[in-house]
Amino acid sequence: MNRAAELARENAELRALLQLQVRPGQKVVHAALLYQGHDWFAQRLTLDQGSGAGLRTGLPVVDADGLVGQLTRVYPGSSEVTLVSSTDQLTPVFVERTGQRGLAAGSGHGQMELRYMPSQTDLRAGDRLLTSGIDRVYPAGIPVATINRVSRSQSSPYLRVDCLPLAGLDRSRGVLVLIAEPQVTAR
């Protein structure tokens, strides 16, 4: 019974991945999670695909719900993903409701924060953050996080904005690595 339930969950996750649309000029590599590592605090995952599948460092990794992270180490048969919730990651985003741009930073332990937002910025709990595409690392429009809490401080000109990643950082088994193919122009 447990095995059947596990297979049904995995099947639903794979179906959701298959429904993701590939953008023009982009290809995807399907990868499965090999292991999460010995230390969850490191905020890294290891995938079963590597340079043999055309992967290289810096590529974005997504699941059916949103941005998982970025490839930081690539080996011939495997690769390592640093999660968006890692303190080493910064992701240029925009607020879907208002269009306001900002930087989402990992704060560890599966959480994120939106940094350097002026105190007069219109932000609400429940607002979704999407990749802005301004850095040319992440394609624009990939869901990243939802705003969990917005706090104003008397002593700071910036808001404190806590966010929760949308991707299944601790539950996804299948992911897609996005590879932008170079645009060839005819002369």
Question: How confident is the model over 9-25, as a mean pLDDT?
Answer: 59
With a cut of 90, say whether residue 77 has pLDDT above it. Answer: yes
With a cut of 90, say whether residue 26 has pLDDT above it. Answer: no
Question: How confident is the model over 164-177, as a mean pLDDT?
Answer: 86
The confidence band for 6, taking pLDDT boundaries of 50, 70 and 90, is confident
Q: Is residue 133 classed as helix, strand or coil in its secondary structure?
A: coil
Distances (CA, A) of 1 to 4, 12, 14, 127: 5, 17, 20, 38
Q: What is the pLDDT of residues 108-129, one digit of tens each?
A: 888 999 999 998 899 999 999 9
Q: How far is CA 105 from the centre of its chain?
A: 11
How many whole angstroms separate alpha carbon 162 and alpha carbon 160? 7
Q: What is the pLDDT of residues 98-109, one digit of tens each?
A: 999 999 999 988
Backbone angles phi, psi at 4, to 5 degrees: -65, -40
pLDDT at 174: 84
Cβ within 8 Å of residue 185, ≥6 positions away: none
With a cut of 90, say whether residue 67 has pLDDT above it. Answer: yes
How many whole angstroms separate alpha carbon 95 and alpha carbon 140? 12
Stated pTM of the model: 0.81
With a cut of 90, say whether residue 76 has pLDDT above it. Answer: yes
pLDDT at 186: 54
